């Protein structure tokens, strides 16, 4: 099975976290699901470099990338994903949605209300537990 390695940003503004919605896709299990912004690590990049690149490409923002929060391994029907999520801090809620179809800033308590990609659920649970 194909394996991909992805980085994702948990972007904190005060007590809120940025949640972004993927576009429609032929893979129904990720189509229009909520996720943390990020993407695949390219050859030669560190995780932090990949995350900084993806955040510029997807949202035109440069938050401060802090610590690794959780690494999740999840098997979807077509591929296995290893996703490293990092805490990030921003001092502005200003974003430009270049790829995602919507975005919400939510407090931890409200994260469970969204329809998340399955690989994100352990991250969401840990964020809620840490509250």
Ligand X SMILES: Nc1nc2c([nH]c(=O)n2[C@H]2C[C@H](O)[C@@H](COP(=O)(O)OP(=O)(O)OP(=O)(O)O)O2)c(=O)[nH]1
Which residues contact ligand X by CB under 6 A?
Answer: 6, 8, 30, 35-36, 38-40, 54, 81, 83, 117, 119-120
Give residue number: closest CB to ligand X: 39
Looking at 13-120, list the stretches that DSSP marks H as alpha helix, in order from N- to C-terminal side: 47-59
Smallest distance, ligand X to C-beta of residue 40, A: 3
Q: Which is nearer to ligand X, 79 or 109 (by Cβ)?
A: 79
- Least distance from C-beta 36 to ligand X, angstroms? 4
Which one, 75 or 107, has the nearer CB to ligand X?
A: 75
CA atoms within 13 A on the CB side of 6: 19
Q: Which is nearer to ligand X, 40 or 107 (CB)?
A: 40
Supply the minimum distance, in Å, between the C-beta of residue 120 and ligand X.
Answer: 5
Compute CA distances 8 → 25, 36, 40, 101, whole Å: 19, 5, 9, 17
Cα 21 from chain centre: 10
Cα–Cα distance, 73 to 4 (Å, whole number) = 10
């Amino acid at each position: 099975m194909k394996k991909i390695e992805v980085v994702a940003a948990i972007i904190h503004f005060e007590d809120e976290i940025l949640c972004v919605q993927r576009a429609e896709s032929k893979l129904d299990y990720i189509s229009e699901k909520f996720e943390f912004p990020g993407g695949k690590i390219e050859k030669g990049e560190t995780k932090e470099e990949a995350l900084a690149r993806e955040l510029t490409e997807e949202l035109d923002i440069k938050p401060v990338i802090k610590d690794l929060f959780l690494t999740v391994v999840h098997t979807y029907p077509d591929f296995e994903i290893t996703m490293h999520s990092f805490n990030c801090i921003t001092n502005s809620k200003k974003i430009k949605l270049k790829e995602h179809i919507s975005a919400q800033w939510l407090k931890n308590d409200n994260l469970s209300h969204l329809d998340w990609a399955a690989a994100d659920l352990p991250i969401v649970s840990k964020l809620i537990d840490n509250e």
